[in-house]
């Protein structure tokens, strides 16, 4: 006789106004991302080939890199060169540049992708969902109404209509490189 394992929802108090969607693929990524001792951002900035590592812009204090595992096409991260784990440690000049680059990326994404909205944010620390907890970074990504569908949530599959190489070409052209 097979024993049936309890589902996550069997341990929750039912809520009449909230649905729960489980995304175990996200936990698998977050829980394994820190097992390497190297920093992917520090490695990328020192690689010597911006196209290969998907850096689309280098500023004075920060650089912009495509997310290798994007939620949507055009998903970038603005990363300070300084390897810091907390925003409060970021020097004011770098913080100002990070915000200026965020504004610039909002314009570029609106021009290139015509999204319904833009997500802008940071996850600082593993408990906050940071996949790379040791090096702060700002996510900037275009969003469309209903862009998170059952394929991502239930099927554990992300559908992206544009290759990262094409995104890199479009992004660097839009940034004037």
Which residues face 142 on adjacent strands? 118
How many Cβ atoms sit within 10 Å of the Cβ of residue 174? 18
Helix, strand and coil content of the chain, in percent to the nearest 5, comes to: 40, 15, 50
The DSSP code for 87 is G
139 in catalytic set: no
Which string of b and e fits 91-120 if b means at least 16 CB within 10 Å?
Answer: eeebbebbeebbebbeebbeebbebeebee
Catalytic one of 11, 137, 139, 177: 137
Active site residues: 137
């Amino acid at each position: 006789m097979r024993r049936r394992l309890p589902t996550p929802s069997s341990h929750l108090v039912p809520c009449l106004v909230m649905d729960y969607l489980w995304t175990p693929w996200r936990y698998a990524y977050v829980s394994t991302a820190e097992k390497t001792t190297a920093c992917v951002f520090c490695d990328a900035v020192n690689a010597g080939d911006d196209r290969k590592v998907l850096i689309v812009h280098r500023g004075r204090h920060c650089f912009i890199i495509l997310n290798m595992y994007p939620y949507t096409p055009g998903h970038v991260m603005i990363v300070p060169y300084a390897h810091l784990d907390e925003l409060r440690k970021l020097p004011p000049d770098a913080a100002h540049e990070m915000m200026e680059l965020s504004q610039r990326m909002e314009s570029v994404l609106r021009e290139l992708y015509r999204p319904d909205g833009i997500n802008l944010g940071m996850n600082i620390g593993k408990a906050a969902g940071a996949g790379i907890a040791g090096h702060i970074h700002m996510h900037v990504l275009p969003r469309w109404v209903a862009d998170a569908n059952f394929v991502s949530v239930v099927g554990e599959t992300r559908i992206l209509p544009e290759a990262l190489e094409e995104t890199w070409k479009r992004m660097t052209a839009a940034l004037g490189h």
